[in-house]
A and B are shown apart, each in its own frame.
Chain A
Amino acid sequence: MVLLVMISLSPDSVLRFAKELEMEGDIFRSITEYKRYIYLVPDADSIRYRIVSIYERNGKYGNAIDILREVKRKNSEYKVSIGKLFYRAGYYDSCDNYWSGRLLGLVYLRKGEVKRGMDCLNLKEPPHLKNPAIGIALSAIPGLGRVYAGRPGDGIFTLFTVLIPAYFTYKYYREGSYLLSGVFGGLSLFFYGGNIFGSYISVKVYNTYILDRYIRNIEKWLLP
């Protein structure tokens, strides 16, 4: 009986069982077994990295960081890994403590410091961002600002929402119905204001999308 317990609690069998559970997809039970293995073999850093990768795949960055901090050998691999977890969790300021060189370029890009990030990463081609001021200027013609922001459909719709009330304002004014003319004038002004504000916001949303895609492309080769 004692022999049976000893065999079942031997580190090798615990590790085998943990791997089996992981392969079956029972990841959280496998983590428990990996932790049991670490209890039996405290220096098993490779297993700690394995737990970290499981947590990371499942988006549990906090748990992954807690496990990674227990690693005995805090070498460059440790620094890259923990920085990566902070990066994935969105705590870009914490990455500065662990990363250096080109990896910091990613952090600058995420913080919106495009020029600094590009210098750090030694990149030649900048992301094709658009100028919100141009978006506002173009929105003087209803819908054109949205077309500039990559939303032609919204631009066409905006043109109609501004022009139709504007037409009725003119029509009722000519007919002498000043109340109706005022109502449609207000409506036209409301949509025109929305058009200017929306063009500015649309350009910013477009820039966020383009920058995010640009960074994701860099992450593919820099952050496996």
Chain B
Amino acid sequence: MVILLFFVLESPTEPTPTLKNRNLKPVEQFNEGKYLALSFIRLYQLVLSGQQGDVCNFEPSCSHFSYKAIEEFGLLWGLLLSGDRLERCNPFTFHYIGKFYRVGLVEGRGYKVLEKPDDVWKYK
């Protein structure tokens, strides 16, 4: 009887952790299109990008910009941002420095137009 009482008194008062009361974060839904697009960009970076050398006017380069844009803002917005960026990466880019773009010295790449996806996204 005493032993039984001991077990009753010493039993844990806190509920045992179950799947419900544990603070679990919702799992992000796997987006096939997004990962396919990211894989294509990675493949381009590994195979083609090195062949043509440093030809992009921007920092980060267009492929890195696109990768980050798709990763951060999803497939649709990422593709729109990428399309816009690719259209702006042309020989006329340097005409707009000081007006629409700012330039910075990038280590190993020289002077480049600095523009991250967030710099464009904030105007949305």
Contacts and interface: CB of A to CB of B under 8 A. Distances in A.
A186 to B, nearest CB: 10
Interface bracket on B: 20 to 34
A195 B88 CA distance: 10
B20 interface: no
Nearest to B101: A205
Nearest to B100: A205
Interface string B49-64: 0000000000000000
Given A197-B81, A197-B83, A209-B99, A154 B88 contact: yes
B80 interface: yes
A191 B100 contact: no
B14 interface: no
A39 interface: no
A171 to B, nearest CB: 22
A193 B79 contact: yes
Nearest to B91: A153
Interface in B74-98: 79-88, 90-93, 95-96
B83 A157 contact: no
A151 B87 CA distance: 11
A201 interface: yes
Contacts of B96: 151, 153-154
Given A153-B90, A154-B92, A157-B90, A195 B83 contact: yes
A201 B100 CA distance: 11
B87 A157 contact: yes
B57 to A, nearest CB: 12
B92 A161 contact: no
Given A153-B92, A197-B80, A205-B123, A161 B87 contact: yes
Nearest to A161: B87
Interface in B93-124: 93, 95-96, 99-100, 120, 123-124
29 contacts: A146-B87, A151-B100, A152-B92, A153-B92, A154-B88, A154-B92, A154-B96, A157-B88, A157-B90, A161-B87, A190-B82, A191-B86, A193-B80, A194-B79, A194-B80, A194-B85, A195-B83, A195-B84, A195-B87, A197-B84, A198-B84, A198-B87, A198-B88, A201-B120, A201-B123, A205-B123, A206-B100, A209-B99, A209-B100
Interface of B: 79-88, 90-93, 95-96, 99-100, 120, 123-124
